[in-house]
Chain A
């Protein structure tokens, strides 16, 4: 059984899960390239 089908794991999870975070939008990428961090650590 894969982890996403593991019923026992979710028994301790809440009956309802809902969350959302927010921030200033900085989306700049496209699917050819990604800068993972805001500034590459040197």
Chain B
């Protein structure tokens, strides 16, 4: 899981790099530092000199935009863990087992105090009129439901809320509460077949939770702020195409097909090689497109959509894993039930990455702590394989927790170099074919304006 993928291409004299996207007609030219790109019909098409002049004229603007995106943001979201406990024992969880089995809840009083402290912080840092986001995360946040819901009711006018849940406790009443308040809801399911889904996601007794997840999907049908996360691991790679068919049939509006992160030993034992992941993943993307063409209804694969957007409009991306430095500790941070602050939930099982405590430290000081700086200072320019890679700003070399724990340091790549390269190639092929919009949610570019246009 520490092998960089081979690149086909080469640096051109003018600073652009050629990148083979595997398309019959087009190849890509990329300015890696500014995430500028162009697709050229094979050969030397007419207009290339004009394109290069226009790019050179605007290169400084693109560089400033990337500098702001990479180093100029302040946090606007918190991944808030209201409990250490979970009623499941999933094989790849990044939270230590003992913590999930017998950890503590955050008390209702403490949870309200945390909200008050976060409100004070965001009042100092967020632009007026923009609401910060709180995502209740886990472990299983609904185990501490009443405290969490009290916070949603008390702060619903000042924050946007979301919940990531395993759905075992998402009954009618709970779902109605969240939907009535416009909360985002993310569920987890790894396969459309119960036996396979249960291999990775199960109770402490070993019993599966497929039926309750399915019931929750039915309960949330028609709700726009709902998505399902499928964690791709060596057990379910053969299920990805049936999985997107299953979700599309149930009118799920969006899903994420996330690679299992190798931060903890359980994740590492679920790891699969790049090609083994990329092939069924791209087949699943193709299937979502066929389903859209057949039905007119999209199932957006949000993590791939984000990579497409990172190419089409770098500043419009929503997820901050596939950029360097990643969003951990700079555009969001994670709060553990004891008040410890981590750059991202992925670090919660790694005590040395706690940068301070919400109840005793200023958040600004925590963001500036050595533990956070280790993450926010990790950039692709300092990673040997990435420093020459043309898609380094469409990939970001995720994930720092994984690189640190599985591959030996922050200057190492993550566990899926070739997989990200294949995603970038596929995204460019869609753009070459003019069908990239079919893979994005409607209105994805609202609020954007053209910054460069040539030939389209």
Residues of A within 8 A of B (CB): 2-7, 9-10, 13-37, 39-42
Q: How many A-B residue pairs have CB under 8 A?
A: 216
Q: What interface size band does chain B fall in?
A: 35 or more
* Docked pose: A4 CA to B425 CA in angstroms: 11
Residues of B within 8 A of A (CB): 22-26, 36-41, 45-48, 51, 55, 62, 65, 68-69, 73, 76-77, 79, 130, 133, 135, 137, 160, 162, 164, 179-180, 182-184, 186, 224-225, 227, 229, 253-254, 256, 258, 286, 289, 300, 302-303, 306, 312-321, 323, 326-328, 331-332, 344-345, 398, 426, 429-435, 441, 443, 445, 447-456
Q: Which of A4, A28, A41 has a CB less than 8 Å from the CB of B320?
A: A28
Q: Which of B46, B48, B327 has a CB less than 8 Å from the CB of A28?
A: B327
What's the least CB distance linking B442 to chain A, in Å?
Answer: 10
A21 pairs with B318, CB closer than 8 A: no
Q: Which of A20, A27, A41 has a CB less than 8 Å from the CB of B312?
A: A20
CB contacts (< 8 Å) of B256 on chain A: these are 31, 34
A27 pairs with B320, CB closer than 8 A: yes
B41 pairs with A9, CB closer than 8 A: no
CB contacts (< 8 Å) of B258 on chain A: these are 31-32
B26 pairs with A10, CB closer than 8 A: yes
A18 pairs with B164, CB closer than 8 A: no
A40 pairs with B321, CB closer than 8 A: no
Given A21-B448, A25-B68, verify A30-B313 contact (CB < 8 Å). no
* Docked pose: A28 CA to B317 CA in angstroms: 9
CB contacts (< 8 Å) of B451 on chain A: these are 20-22
* Docked pose: A28 CA to B253 CA in angstroms: 20
CB contacts (< 8 Å) of A18 on chain B: these are 36-39, 51, 55, 452-456
A15 pairs with B40, CB closer than 8 A: yes
A28 pairs with B332, CB closer than 8 A: yes
B65 pairs with A4, CB closer than 8 A: no
Given A3-B435, A7-B25, verify A28-B318 contact (CB < 8 Å). yes
Given A7-B25, A9-B433, A21-B445, verify A33-B182 contact (CB < 8 Å). no
Identify the closest chain A residue to B229 (Cβ).
Answer: A32
17 further contact pairs, Cβ within 8 A, besides A6-B433, A23-B448, A27-B317: A4-B429, A7-B24, A7-B25, A17-B26, A20-B36, A20-B312, A20-B453, A22-B449, A23-B449, A25-B315, A25-B316, A27-B327, A30-B319, A30-B345, A32-B137, A35-B184, A37-B443
* Docked pose: A6 CA to B434 CA in angstroms: 12
Identify the closest chain B residue to A2 (Cβ).
Answer: B286
B320 pairs with A29, CB closer than 8 A: yes
B41 pairs with A15, CB closer than 8 A: yes
Instruction: Please list 5 pairs of residues, one from A and one from B, whose beta carbons are closer than 8 Å in the complex, sorted by A's number.
Output: A15-B45, A21-B449, A29-B327, A36-B318, A40-B182
A25 pairs with B69, CB closer than 8 A: yes
B319 pairs with A31, CB closer than 8 A: yes
Identify the closest chain A residue to B38 (Cβ).
Answer: A18
* Docked pose: A19 CA to B39 CA in angstroms: 10
CB contacts (< 8 Å) of B319 on chain A: these are 27, 29-31, 34
Q: Which of A5, A24, A27, A33 has a CB less than 8 Å from the CB of B162?
A: A33
* Docked pose: A21 CA to B312 CA in angstroms: 6
A35 pairs with B225, CB closer than 8 A: yes
Identify the closest chain A residue to B40 (Cβ).
Answer: A16
B254 pairs with A16, CB closer than 8 A: no
Identify the closest chain A residue to B70 (Cβ).
Answer: A25
Of A4, A9, A20, A24, which is in contact with the most chain B CB atoms at under 10 Å from its CB?
Answer: A20
Given A14-B456, A19-B456, A40-B225, verify A28-B344 contact (CB < 8 Å). no
B24 pairs with A10, CB closer than 8 A: yes
* Docked pose: A9 CA to B162 CA in angstroms: 41
B448 pairs with A10, CB closer than 8 A: no
Given A10-B432, A22-B448, A27-B69, verify A35-B318 contact (CB < 8 Å). yes
* Docked pose: A23 CA to B253 CA in angstroms: 25
Of B39, B51, B229, B435, which is in contact with the most chain A CB atoms at under 10 Å from its CB?
Answer: B39
* Docked pose: A37 CA to B26 CA in angstroms: 33
A10 pairs with B25, CB closer than 8 A: yes
CB contacts (< 8 Å) of B26 on chain A: these are 10, 17
User: Lowest 3 A-B CB distances belong to which pairs?
Assistant: A40-B225, A14-B455, A15-B45
What's the least CB distance linking A31 to chain B, in Å?
Answer: 5
CB contacts (< 8 Å) of B225 on chain A: these are 35-37, 40-41
